[in-house]
Amino acid sequence: MSRGQCPFDPPPELARLQTEAPVSRVRLWDGSTPWLVTRYEDVRAVLADPRISADSDRPGYPHVTPASAARRKRAKAFISQDDPEHAARRRLLTGDFMVRRMEALRPRIQHIVDELIDAMLAGPKPADLVEAFALPVPSLVICELLGVPYADRAFFHRASRTVIARDTTSEQAVAATEQLLDYLADLVRAKEKDPGEDLLSRLAAGQLRTGAMTAEEIAAMGQLLLIAGHETTANMIALGTVALLENPAQLAEIRDTGDPKVIANAVEELLRYLNITHSGRRRVATADLEIGGQLIRRGEGVIAAGDIANRDDSAFPEPDRLDIGRKARHHVAFGYGVHQCLGQPLARIELQVVYGTLYRRLPGLSLAVPLADLPFKHDMIVYGVHELPVTW
Ligand code: HEM
């Protein structure tokens, strides 16, 4: 996103493509020219098409940065695989992230949220909402779920920041990835000997002991879950709060409602409106096919731009307006098709608990700096704010 425009909108030059050239070539850092798909229906068609591959090793795959190209080679998880391999690995985890299992976590998530707010209330003002709240909530939850010691968060937050920063070199990305993989593989081996009640222990017992997966393969899966499980939700908490502070009437509605459905609906609209995974879903065609009337040839890269698709007025009337009352659940902020976000039931509950609690307990919440001074994440492949100074 370029600076100076509304910090919640996709770049105007890309948004314009949606009406003028909805499937068009763009030039990437390596000189390659994949297709950028921007209409809602076309994005869903791309993501649902079995002739479109998510395999990051295929020639023509449009890597976001040189670092992400180098890193994916080293640690390939099922997000970068196609079926049937993708489905076989994903299936090992579907039980862990079922809505019912996640609902059972709601009281624990509420407790985590309340404790962090207690600590904020007891501490100095202003505070950085990212450091004090937005990052700890999903980090604590995913650590408990996976069985990763929360005490090691400084290490994995740093590694995670390195892999999603746009200016990370390939060497830095591979080094951070390897450190994280080594750390997780050691943890998995330790859990095989001394299991706990957590997901990595279950994989150590079911996959490592039987020889179905190596500790390194489980570590790559753990790395995907650990990074996807905290970065995205943390950015949604912080950026969602900024968006609501800029729309005080809607913030007041969330704060004052006693109806969980109003909050659940607001979560969907904020996911749609902010669509923090700004770099699009990256894919490559494995056969000649047509998307939106455009011929895409086998081997050509495709970027399905969810952030722009979520602002398509054929799917969402007045799409550039935040409207927490609208029906937005058909958004593509969690992707679409077989790779649709596995953690979405968890992310939804985390965000429902956060938005339903934070503004009620801190009714005077406000920015401690002007909006224009906030450090928006123009330099990361997942959007948000680096810091969010607030008072109350
Ligand atoms: C608000 C928070 C979140 C957002 C916006 C988000 C977004 C996404 C998107 C767009 C995809 C699709 C990737 C693609 O098609 O290439 C995805 C996949 C995935 N997400 Fe999330 N995610 C969030 C939270 C989480 C959480 C909490 C977890 C859990 C641990 C998680 C785990 C995953 C995994 C494992 C995949 C890969 C699924 C597959 O390839 O089959 N995500 N996410």
In this structure, what CATH number is given to the domain that contains residue 184?
1.10.630.10
What are the structure tokens assigned to 91, written together?
A: 């299936």
Asked if residue 228 has its Cβ within 6 Å of ligand 1, the reply is yes
Asked if residue 81 has its Cβ within 6 Å of ligand 1, the reply is no
Task: Please check whether residue 332 lies inside any domain of the structure.
Answer: yes
- Enumerate the H helices of the chain as residue ranges: 12-20, 40-48, 66-74, 85-94, 99-104, 106-122, 129, 136-146, 153-164, 170-193, 199-203, 215-245, 248-256, 260-274, 306-309, 344-361
Would you state the pLDDT for residue 69? 85
What is the whole-number distance in angstroms between the Cα of residue 179 and the centre of ligand 1? 22
- Closest-CA residue, ligand 1 atom 16, reads 281
Would you state the pLDDT for residue 111? 98
Counting from 1 in the atom list of ligand 1, the atom nearest the Cα of 80 is: 40
Span of 88-102, 160-174, 243-257, 313-327 with lowest mean pLDDT: 160-174
5, pLDDT greater than 80: no
Asked if residue 273 has its Cβ within 6 Å of ligand 1, the reply is no
Asked if residue 148 has its Cβ within 6 Å of ligand 1, the reply is no
Task: Please check whether residue 195 lies inside any domain of the structure.
Answer: yes
What is the whole-number distance in angstroms between the Cα of residue 344 and the centre of ligand 1? 7
pLDDT over 90 for what percent of the chain?
Answer: 87
Domain that holds residue 98: 12-367
What is the whole-number distance in angstroms between the Cα of residue 79 and the centre of ligand 1? 9
Task: Please check whether residue 375 lies inside any domain of the structure.
Answer: no
Task: Please check whether residue 1 lies inside any domain of the structure.
Answer: no
What are the structure tokens assigned to 58, written together?
A: 């295929």
Task: Please check whether residue 385 lies inside any domain of the structure.
Answer: no
Would you state the pLDDT for residue 52? 98
Would you state the pLDDT for residue 191? 96
Cα–Cα distance between 206 and 227 in angstroms, integer? 23
Provide DSSP, 62-80: --SSHHHHHHHHHS--GGG
Cα–Cα distance between 81 and 101 in angstroms, integer? 26
Would you state the pLDDT for residue 160? 87
Would you state the pLDDT for residue 2? 44
- Mean pLDDT value of segment 156-163: 88
Asked if residue 78 has its Cβ within 6 Å of ligand 1, the reply is yes
C-beta of residue 51 within 8 angstroms of C-beta of residue 285: yes
Task: Please check whether residue 48 lies inside any domain of the structure.
Answer: yes
Name residue 140's amino acid: L
1, pLDDT greater than 50: no
161, pLDDT greater than 90: no
Please give the tally of structural domains in the chain.
1
Asked if residue 337 has its Cβ within 6 Å of ligand 1, the reply is no
Asked if residue 72 has its Cβ within 6 Å of ligand 1, the reply is no
The overall longest dimension of the chain from CA atoms, in Å, is: 61
What is the whole-number distance in angstroms between the Cα of residue 81 and the centre of ligand 1? 14
Task: Please check whether residue 207 lies inside any domain of the structure.
Answer: yes
Asked if residue 347 has its Cβ within 6 Å of ligand 1, the reply is yes
369, pLDDT greater than 50: yes
Task: Please check whether residue 164 lies inside any domain of the structure.
Answer: yes
What are the structure tokens assigned to 133, written together?
A: 């709240």
Phi, psi of 376 (to 5 degrees): -70, 150
The half-sphere exposure of 266 on its side-chain side, counting CA atoms within 13 A, is: 26
The band of 76, judged by pLDDT with boundaries at 50, 70 and 90, is: confident
Cα–Cα distance between 289 and 95 in angstroms, integer? 35
321, pLDDT greater than 50: yes
What is the whole-number distance in angstroms between the Cα of residue 98 and the centre of ligand 1? 14
The band of 3, judged by pLDDT with boundaries at 50, 70 and 90, is: very low
- Mean pLDDT value of segment 324-332: 97
List pLDDT tens digits, range 28-42: 999 999 999 999 999
List pLDDT tens digits, range 168-225: 898 998 999 999 999 999 999 999 999 999 999 999 999 998 999 999 999 999 999 9
The band of 50, judged by pLDDT with boundaries at 50, 70 and 90, is: very high
Q: Which residues of 278-317 are buried (b: 16+ CB within 10 A; e: fewer)?
A: bbbbbbbbbeebebbeeebeeebbbbbbbbbbbbbeebbe
Strand partners, 389: 128
What is the whole-number distance in angstroms between the Cα of residue 236 and the centre of ligand 1? 13
Asked if residue 139 has its Cβ within 6 Å of ligand 1, the reply is no
382, pLDDT greater than 60: yes
What is the whole-number distance in angstroms between the Cα of residue 340 and the centre of ligand 1? 7
Strand partners, 291: 294
C-beta of residue 135 within 8 angstroms of C-beta of residue 385: no
List pLDDT tens digits, range 256-290: 998 999 999 999 999 999 999 989 999 999 999 99
Mutation pick for ligand 1 pocket among 230, 232, 346 (CB with most ligand atoms within 8 Å)? 232
- Closest-CA residue, ligand 1 atom 40, reads 79
- Those residues whose C-beta lies under 8 Å from the C-beta of residue 122, and which sit 6 or more positions away, are none
